Amino acid sequence: MAVARELIRRDPHASVSVLERESEIGTHQTGHNSGVIHAGVYYPPGSLKARLCVEGAREMYEYCEQRGIAHERCGKVIIATDASELDRLEELERRGTANGVPGLRRIDAAGIEELEPHARGIAGLHSPETGIADFPAVARAYAQDILEAGGSVATGCDVEEVSADGRALRLTHSQGATEAGHAVFCAGAWADRLAVKAGADPDPRIVPFRGAYLRLRPERRELVRSLIYPVPDPALPFLGVPERPPRA
């Protein structure tokens, strides 16, 4: 949805269609993630990912405000629990500062307790501009933007085959076939399969990981005020566990 929306914004005369596999929008990763708007702490300074994360966070807040989409700048605390994590915490501080993350600051144990009275650590980083948003609602709003700009969105349209005849691409799907001059495949966990069907090498292959969430009882939600993350372990390809889900 984001790619189609950007394409039609750049070229209002283009014919833009989205073929969505499911009967509704945002039913896979978009509707089953933590909803975090990351501020740009983790990424190497000067990288495209770092720049786009910082700019994208700002633009996402602006879009949510314009469209009345549920969101909250709840902030994030990255907590070191022992001395072995301090060097990695310092590196995150260096990266975040170089990336221009707004309001990022180092805090001590007392600072952690002030922000999160039920959390404990020896040092931390506080990112006040990290937040959460209702991303299924964002996806639906993007779809509405596409429709209002003259594009189309077809749900229940599972792409089964991709072929090219030199002039156009033919996308065979569950509702028939669509011919297009260009196609962008944004298929999440199915992206590698569609890439192979379009003639790409099977490597790299997507290896999906399933996340799980625990929800606090309503009467105990005051235990966590913001997002709480551990200092990431470089031996594992994950940022850690956010301790607060988005609220619609």
Task: Note the pLDDT tens digit of each residue in 24-67.
Answer: 999 988 988 889 999 999 999 999 999 999 999 999 999 999 99
Q: Which of 146, 205, 151, 154 is nearest to 175 (CA)?
A: 154
The rounded distance, in Å, linking the Cα atoms of 218 and 245 is 12
Give one word for 68, left, alpha or beta, with left for phi > 0 and alpha for psi -120 to 50: left
Instruction: Name which of 82-86, 141-145, 166-170, 192-196 the model is least confident about.
Output: 166-170
**Coil, strand, or helix at residue 82?**
coil
The H or E element that residue 164 is part of is: strand 159-164
Residue 170 has pLDDT above 80, yes or no: yes
pLDDT tier, 248 (very low <50, low <70, confident <90, very high otherwise): very low
Percentage of the residues of the chain whose pLDDT score is greater than 70: 94
Contact 126, 107 (CB under 8 A): yes
For tokens 């790299």, the residue is 204
Task: Note the pLDDT tens digit of each residue in 128-169.
Answer: 999 999 999 999 999 999 999 999 999 999 999 999 877 889
Task: Note the pLDDT tens digit of each residue in 201-237.
Answer: 999 898 877 777 788 899 998 899 999 999 987 667 6
Contact 228, 116 (CB under 8 A): yes
Residue 88 has pLDDT above 90, yes or no: yes
Instruction: Name which of 78-82, 111-115, 164-168, 208-212 the model is least confident about.
Output: 208-212
Which residues contact residue 25 at a Cβ distance below 8 angstroms, ignoring those fewer than 6 apart? 1, 136, 139, 140, 143, 153, 155
Tokens of 4: 């189609």
Q: Which of 81, 95, 125 is nearest to 233 (CA)?
A: 81
Residue 117 has pLDDT above 70, yes or no: yes
Percentage of the residues of the chain whose pLDDT score is greater than 90: 78
- What's the whole-model pTM score? 0.88
Confidence (pLDDT) at 162: 93
Confidence (pLDDT) at 239: 60
